[in-house]
């Protein structure tokens, strides 16, 4: 049985819009099936484009001037995903993305910081995308912070393997693959590369990928 959705808002001038067959309408307190939305603040914007299928998912916007948007997808249901936006940040996810089980998106700590996922991306199970570290690394001598939060950007058609961690200042160019259990914290602006490791580095260039498994792709 699918979990019921709900929408709870504390604050003023918040917009929660669903786009269905090109028509926008405001979402009521019943929310969307499988998605719990909690907003605690003002001037926040949520835009969800149908069709999408959620199951046991949660979206939280905390504070003011946050933005969350996600494009339509028929790929599969989004199961137990957690989306958290605070401190005037944004999460923007494109169309036709496949988000597997227990993926977390966290954009907070520095105003204007974003997680941006392009179209036709795959993010495998138990992956974490986080713009900040949650605590501050400090220079011993002058007290200056060393780990300023930064954007996470995935261009179109990027496949992120299971149990990866994508951290601040991550950039992955189109048609690329992030290997399973990798930690990414730098920019890879050359397309068609396989990256992996802790921290991630380029393992192979001149690659691309297809959503079909090996048997389906080869016709064997």
- Give the other-Cβ count within 10 Å of 102's Cβ: 16
Q: How far apart are CA 163 and CA 182, in angstroms?
A: 7
Contacts of residue 141, defined as CB under 8 A and 6 or more positions apart, other chains included, come to none
pLDDT at res. 220: 78
Quote the CA–CA distance of 177 and 210 in Å, as a whole number.
11
* Four-CA torsion 8, 11, 12, 14, nearest 10 degrees: -40
The full set of domain ranges for the chain reads: 6-218
3-state secondary structure 8-28: EEECCCCEEEEEECCEEEECC
Whole-number pLDDT of residue 3:
55
Distance CA 16, CA 173 (A): 31
pLDDT of residue 1: 36
Closest CA to 50 of 15, 91, 20: 20
Residue 5 pLDDT: 78
Does CATH place domain 6-218 in 3.40.50.2300? no
- The pLDDT value recorded for residue 2 is 44
- Which pLDDT tens digits describe the chain residue by residue (220 residues)? 345 679 999 999 999 999 998 899 999 988 999 999 999 999 999 999 999 999 999 999 999 999 999 999 988 899 999 999 999 999 999 999 999 999 999 999 999 999 999 999 999 999 999 999 999 999 999 999 999 999 999 999 999 999 999 999 999 999 999 999 999 999 999 999 999 999 999 999 999 999 999 999 998 7
Predicted local distance difference test score (pLDDT) of residue 4: 62
Taking the CB of residue 152, how many other CB atoms lie within 10 A of it?
Answer: 26
């Amino acid at each position: 049985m699918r979990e019921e959705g709900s929408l709870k808002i504390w604050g003023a001038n918040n917009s929660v819009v669903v786009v269905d067959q090109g028509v926008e309408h405001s979402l009521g307190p019943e929310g969307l099936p499988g998605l719990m939305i909690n907003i605690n603040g003002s001037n926040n914007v949520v835009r969800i484009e149908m069709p999408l299928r959620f199951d046991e998912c949660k979206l939280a916007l905390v504070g003011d001037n946050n933005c969350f948007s996600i494009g339509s997808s028929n790929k599969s249901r989004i199961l137990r995903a957690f989306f958290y936006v605070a401190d005037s940040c944004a999460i923007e996810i494109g169309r036709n993305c496949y988000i597997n089980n227990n993926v977390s998106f966290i954009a907070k700590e520095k105003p204007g910081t974003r997680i941006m996922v392009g179209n036709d991306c795959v993010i495998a199970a138990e992956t974490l995308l986080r713009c900040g570290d949650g605590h501050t690394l400090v220079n011993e001598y002058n007290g200056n912070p060393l780990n300023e939060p930064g954007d996470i950007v995935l261009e179109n058609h990027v496949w992120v393997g299971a149990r990866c961690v994508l951290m601040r200042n991550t950039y992955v160019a189109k048609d690329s693959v992030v290997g399973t259990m990798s930690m990414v914290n730098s920019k890879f602006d050359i397309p068609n590369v396989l990256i992996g490791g802790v921290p991630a580095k380029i393992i192979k260039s001149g690659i691309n990928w297809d959503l079909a498994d090996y048997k389906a792709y080869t016709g064997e």
